[in-house]
Structure 1
Amino acid sequence: MNKSTLGNSDLIVSELALGCMSLGTNEQKAKEIIDKALDSGINYLDTADLYDQGENEAIVGNVLKGKRDQVVLATKVGNHLKDDGTWFWDPSKAYIKEQVKESLRRLRTDYIDLYQLHGGTIDDPIEETIEAFEELKQDGLIRYYGISSIRPNVIKEFVKHSSIVSVMMQYSLLDRRPEEEVLDLLADNNISVVARGPLAKGMLSDHAIKKVTEKGKQGYLDYSHEELEDIANNLNQVSGETITSLSLRYILSHRAVTSAVFGASSIEQVNNNVNALQSSSLSTEQYEELQNITKAITYDKHR
């Protein structure tokens, strides 16, 4: 598994990251999936305090007992959990500095490698939020921080005013919005992109045609159901690679992207994604062919 540096940090992360949200609440099953990921060379695990109302962090923490030094552990904050299971957006300094203690407790660790703001809008108290993360760095509770956002205006504010090392954002062959105004900006500032949703709900996997039928009936972003069917069929005709391999290699080809996060609810899914990266990088011809099969779309509502 190839590894590289995350932004301007000293975190060395695998080109595939395990998104823990899909692990479920069966700890033994989660352990098997995480162990398989680690054995396959994945060292980057991503969770959030919101997932299963904190239980996901607790499971990850239990599974990593005795293995903490083997992983780059990332989690997120900003969705204020209430006792009744609901939540509200809270990027305040007070909440972030309070909640990190709960995440540390659940994760059974005394530091978080990468602490991420789990969303955000341009109307947030961004300066206050940045102060919270900077103070947590100074206190040694987190090593680095980043944001999880697809809002270009929010991203640009953090690029200008913070020391983020990464931005997690949705990016795939079916969602090429980041290419227009975000990817080059981040690369030029030595901030890594961590791409989530690289397989677009499975519609960019080796089961693309089936998944388009199941999950693309109402379309996807700017694509109609018919367009999704055409794309799945056309991707199936690209020579030399599986659809999963093409999809992962496409996003990892951009200089801004350091890692692609995939969710897994089975060992089989881990194996499929890891095996998809055994092939070499895309050729220029393949890259251009994939761009011709899909289309460039732009951010509209998410500003």
Structure 2
Amino acid sequence: MKYKKVEKIEEKLSALGYGCWGISGPSFWDGTTDEDSIKTIQRAIAGGINFFDVAPVYGLGHAEEVLGKAIKGSRDKIFIATKCGLLWDDQGRTRNCLKPESIRKEIEDSLRRLGTDHVDLYQLHWPDPEVEIEETMETMVELKNEGKIRYIGLSNFSIHEAKRAMKVGEVCSMQGLYNMLERNPKSYHNIPLDYRVEEEVFPFVLENGMAFLPYSPLFQGLLAGAISDNKKFTEHDVRAANPKLNTPEFNKYY
């Protein structure tokens, strides 16, 4: 396994990371079982993968629980990145929320589900237009000082917002949509993106000694050869809501 090192993160991280959206459970991702997910995670650790990226919203808490079960006895071997800022209601509808009190509740819930006393990298999942980034960052810095998180990261934030955040606390990573077919994407699941990865984010993270973390690097299975032109997702599969994987837009990528 190859490992990479950036200035702002002490550990060397495996060049191949394990994205955990796919372990959200069969109610959110077709063809998966918790048993297979746990076995796959454990095989990944045995193969030298030490970076695991998860989020509370993946499976509405389920992915964090599965990861927590899989890493028992191996916590000291891995680097856990999770997120905050997307809440859900009883119907599974999500909303953005980066209020300080909400973040504090989210970290406690994540620690419980993961079965750990700290998260290595805590990322703001999406911007919240109702909350100033400076206010959110103050809470993140507090959590870092309390030992509940070790590093702070941003996911789906513009360079302008990142610069504002960096005036309050150290930001160690940027995450964005990136794969061979989407190098400077303008949207994700019909959500506009206020950043361009190759044009803006790459130079920025290099200049500031940060890590860049791509999400959907395999285009949610397309680049792994798992999706054909006649593939039909069940209604509950999260990929059914991705217009880029469904006709007619799918034809541009297949």
TM-score, normalization: structure 1?
Answer: 0.67
2:74 to 53, 67, 70: 67
Contact 1:203-1:212 within 8 A present in 2 as well: no
Contact 1:24 1:30 in 2 (8 A): no
Q: What residue in structure 1 maps to residue 253 of structure 2?
A: 228
> Which amino acid is 1:13 matched to?
L
SS in 2 for 1:60: helix
* Structure 2 equivalent of residue 51 of structure 1: 58
- Report the alpha carbon displacement of residue 122 of structure 1 after superposing the two structures with TM: 5.7
Match of 1:217 among 242, 247, 251: 247
Which one has more relative contact order, counting CA pairs under 8 Å at least 6 apart? 1
Q: What is the match of residue 201 of structure 1?
A: 220
Provide the rounded CA distance (Å) in 2 between the counterparts of 1:188 and 1:122: 27
Q: Specify every segment of 5 or more residues in structure 2 that has no aligned partner in the other structure, as ranges.
A: 26-32, 185-196, 232-244
Q: Is the 8 A contact 2:82 2:119 kept in 1?
A: yes
Q: Distance in 1 between matches of 2:94 and 2:230?
A: 33
How far residue 85 of structure 1 moved from its aligned partner, in angstroms, is: 3.3
Q: How far, CA to CA, are the matches of 1:67 and 1:48 in structure 2?
A: 19
Counting only pairs closer than 5 Å after superposition, residues 94-173 of structure 1 correspond to structure 2 as 94-121=101-128, 124-149=131-156, 151-173=158-180
CA offset at residue 156 of structure 1?
Answer: 4.0
Aligned partners of 1:72 and 1:106: how far apart in 2? 16
Q: Is the 8 A contact 2:159 2:200 kept in 1?
A: yes
Contact 2:127–2:157 (CA<8 Å) still a contact in 1? no
**Count of residue pairs the alignment pairs up:** 222
Structure 2 counterpart of 1:202, one-letter code: G
Q: For residue 248 of structure 1, what is the aligned residue in structure 2?
A: none
| Larger CA Rg, structure 1 vs 2 | 1
SS of the residue aligned with 1:45? strand
User: Take 2:113 and 2:159, find their aligned partners in 1: how far apart are those partners?
Assistant: 32
How far 1:150 sits from its partner (Å)?
A: 5.2
Percent of residue pairs bearing the same amino acid type: 32
- Greater helix content: 1
Q: How far 1:51 sits from its partner (Å)?
A: 1.4
Shift of 1:81: 3.1
